[in-house]
A and B are shown apart, each in its own frame.
Chain A
Amino acid sequence: MFGYDREALQGELATIIQNNITTDAWAWLSQQGDITNTASFNATFAMMPRKTGKGLIHIAPEQAEQLNTIRPGFTIEGWTADRLGRVYLMLQADAIDQERYFAVIENLFLAAEMNELVALYSALPILAYPELWVKRCAEGIRSNIGSVLEAIMYYNPYPAEYLPEAAWNQLVMKAIFTDKQLDLITGLNERNNPELARILMDFARERGAAGRSVVPELWHLASPFTDAGIVNAVKQQYSTINTIN
């Protein structure tokens, strides 16, 4: 159901959260997570910042390492308390009834504001039934909100593990179009593929024609699957219009 040791993650996150929010807030949060009471689950999710605050989480290096051992690639560094609280709430939700679990969480996506979306997409790698969230993840990549895209792209192991190739390639292209930091995308090199290289080279030609530059990582991604002569020829096009990046 989970593909990792859920109880171990719950325990580790509980310790971290307790160190980062007030005793009262923890007393409240630790009682939440009954997914059979949808109205209350929804309200808990929405009002999280009022209880936990929005301060940045502090986490010891050993704790970060521990999280990464339990769920490889999963990190909460740089998160705010409300974001972590929301992810923890979803982790608490009983996943036995698959239909209900999916319906309740999907409904949170449908009614979410920006910070809620960030938390929801951050939770993808730890949700039950990982294969159920593929479409949702692909939908998230269509967002036009920078922070939401970053929650999917940066330090998030889910897309590289579960997205089909076409959706993965969209993620990379969207990252380039929205000036994201490509080096923060988990699995960028592992998921590199010939189709992506073709799209990137077409994109480079298009940009060249418009007199615009491209990010240097583009050449790095395209090179393993593209004839060196072609890469050089396109680069050459840039040098003649003097916009090479």
Chain B
Amino acid sequence: MCCSHSFEDKPLPGQKPEAFDISAVKGMKFFDPHVHMTSRTTDDYQAMADAGVVALIEPAFWLGQPRTGIDSFRDYYSSLVGWERFRSSQFGIKHYCTIGLNSREANNEALAEQVMEILPLFVYKDGVVGVGEIGFDDQTAAEEKYYRLQLDLAKEAGLPVQVHTPHRDKKHGTQRSMDIALEHGLDPYTVIIDHNNEETVKEVLDRGFWAAFTIYPFTKMGNQRMVEVVKQYGSERIMINSAADWGISDPLAVPKTAALMKLNGISAEDIELVTYRNAITAFAQSGQIDEADFGVNIDQSAKFEGNSILRGGQQPRVDKSSIIIS
């Protein structure tokens, strides 16, 4: 997850968001390249599938409180490639992940050392499309050390890198992240710089990196601002994600932003690039993404067969307007 900010300085949601009209983008396919499904309910998968999300990437990150032992890292990484991927598949959404040690937890060096030892066991796994999300939070020496080590790991494994940029001192942290990636000999075309804003996007694109934008209420990009960014910078090497996690966030941010772009006259072609195609192009450099895997078994009866999110005999779709629970 990415809201490593504190809660005190965050305005509480005031008014209700505008009603989301999916019809503007009905029939379109979306790829959310950054969403922390571990912290979402199964209902969210259902809503995402209904809104056209056919695939997603879940980056390894912080669960809200520090992990105290190596086993909880192992279990977390295992859940990303195991249970979470299965849960996603039950809704016809192809689930990929990126694996890494996040910047916050790099500051516990004794534990970080142990994590570096088990990372090779996970980065080669099927469906792991990158090393991520890694980078800076506080911009400490320890964060830099493990960022560098993981860049080397990504290079060795031939995987793209998903870089989390810091909330505080963002512009400097973003520049530093790019400098270090280049120093380690990474091709900027294999590096996705995430959580950009109006202040960082130009340099990221100019230097040949991918620029990802997180549509996240109150703290990161709003989607009205996002529309303006695409109007100004076009659609090349730009991608949009929700980074939805355990905070007040929205797993439908990608389709909603697509709808808003449509209403604001952005071309269907550009919308497709920033909400679907670019993320695939960037992360497919891992050799782990095959579009033929998207949306398979979309048939409801087949999709839910043998699945155990549903308890004995429960039907896959529940009519929420009914008072009867059978």
Interface of A with B (CB < 8 Å)? 39, 42-43, 46-47, 49-50, 82, 110-117, 144-147, 149-150, 177-180, 212
Which of B76-84, B105-113, B267-275 lines the interface with chain A? B76-84
Known: A144-B308, A146-B305. Contact between A117 and B82, CB under 8 A?
Answer: yes
Q: How far is the CA of A115 from the CA of B81 in the complex (A)?
A: 10
Between A and B, 10 residue pairs with Cβ closer than 8 Å are: A39-B120, A42-B121, A46-B124, A47-B124, A110-B74, A111-B77, A113-B126, A117-B82, A144-B83, A144-B86
CA distance A43 to B78 in the complex (A): 15
Residue of B81, B118, B127 with most chain A CB atoms under a 10 A cut-off:
B81
- Does any Cβ of A come within 8 Å of B17's Cβ? no
A25 to chain B, nearest CB (A): 14
Q: Is the CB of B308 within 8 A of A178?
A: yes
Instruction: Report which B residues bind A (CB closer than 8 A).
Output: 74, 77-78, 81-83, 85-86, 118, 120-122, 124-127, 287, 305-309, 312-313
Q: Which residue of A lies closest to B288 (CB)?
A: A50
Contacts of B77 in A (CB 8 A): 111
Per the bound structure, the CA–CA distance linking A57 and B149 in Å amounts to 39
Compute how far the CA of A178 lies from the CA of B306 in the bound complex, rounded to whole angstroms: 5
Given the interface pairs A111-B78, A113-B85, the reply to whether A49 lies near B307 with Cβ below 8 Å is no
In the complex, residue of chain B having the shortest beta-carbon distance to the beta carbon of A115: B126
Q: Give the residues in chain B near A147, CB-CB below 8 Å.
A: 306
Residues of B within 8 A of A144 (CB): 83, 86, 308-309
Q: A39-B120, A180-B306 are in contact. Are A145 and B86 (CB under 8 A)?
A: yes
Asked, given contacts A146-B308, A178-B306, A178-B308, whether A113 binds B124 with beta carbons under 8 Å apart, the answer is no
| A112–B82 CB distance below 8 A | yes
- In the complex, what residue of chain A is closest to B90 when comparing beta carbons? A146
Q: Report which of B121, B307, B308, B312 forms a contact with A46, defined as CB distance below 8 A.
A: B121
Q: Which residues of A contact B74 (CB under 8 A)?
A: 110-111
Q: What's the nearest-Cβ distance from chain B to residue A103, in Å? A: 14
- Could you tell me the distance between the alpha carbons of A179 and B85 in the complex, rounded to whole angstroms? 21
In contact, B308 and A113 (Cβ under 8 angstroms): no
Interchain CB contact under 8 A, A146 and B125? no
Cα A82 to Cα B127 in complex, Å, equals 14
